[in-house]
Amino acid sequence: MISYVTVGVDDMDRAKRFYSAFLPALGYGLEEGPEGLSFALPVPEGQRPVLPDFYVKPTFNGQPATAGNGTMVAFEARNQAQVRDLHAAAVDAGGTDEGQPGFRASYGPHFYVSYLRDPQGNKIAVFSCDPNEAGRDG
C-alpha cells in the first residue's frame, strides 16, 4: 500500500492555490508547516489513517523542483460531474489543462478522467470509475 506521495514545488503559494482548489472537495484536509503542505483524509477516532497522504514540499536538496517525466498522481472523484468541476477549478487556480474530462478509448468503459499540470508542471489526474453512471459505450 502506498503511504504517501510527495511532489516538489518552488512556489508554495501557487501550489497551495492549485491544490486547495480541488483536494478539499475530495475530503482532504490541509495542514501547513515550514516544511510545506500536507493533505490528508480525516481519521475517525480509534481508526487507522486512510492512505495515501499527499505532500507538497520544497525540494530537500535546495535545487529547483522538476516534474518527473512519466510521473502522474491520480485522485478519485465521486462521479463524472465532480471530475468536470474539479478540473475547471484546478485550471482556474493556476493549473494547465492536459486533457479535458472525458472517456478514453484505451481505458475501461466507465473510466472518466481529466488531466492537469500543477503550476510546477507535476501531472495530476482526476477520475471517476462509477459503473452506475453512463459509460463510454452507452
CATH number, domain containing residue 78: 3.10.180.10
pLDDT at 138 over 80: no
Q: Is 65 inside a domain boundary?
A: no
CB-CB contact of 119 with 125 (8 Å): no
pLDDT at 126 over 90: yes
pLDDT for res 1: 81
Note the Cα 81 to chain centre separation in Å: 16
Q: Is 39 inside a domain boundary?
A: yes
Q: Is 138 inside a domain boundary?
A: no
Question: What's the whole-number average pLDDT of the chain?
Answer: 96
Q: Is 135 inside a domain boundary?
A: no
pLDDT for res 102: 98
pLDDT for res 11: 97
Q: Is 26 inside a domain boundary?
A: yes
Q: Please give the tally of structural domains in the chain.
A: 1
Q: Is 133 inside a domain boundary?
A: no
Q: Is 48 inside a domain boundary?
A: yes
**Cell numbers of 9, please?**
514545488
Instruction: Select from 84, 5, 82 the least CA-distant residue to 40.
Output: 5
Mean pLDDT score, 84-113: 97
Q: Say which amino acid occupies 95.
A: G
- Check the CA dihedral 79-85-90-91 and report its sign: positive
- Confidence band, pLDDT 50/70/90 cuts, at residue 106: very high
With cell 515550514, the residue in question is: 34
- pTM for the model stands at 0.93
Structural domain including 49 reads: 4-60+70-128
pLDDT for res 85: 98
pLDDT digits (tens, 9 = 90+) for 10-46: 999 999 999 999 999 999 999 999 899 999 999 999 9
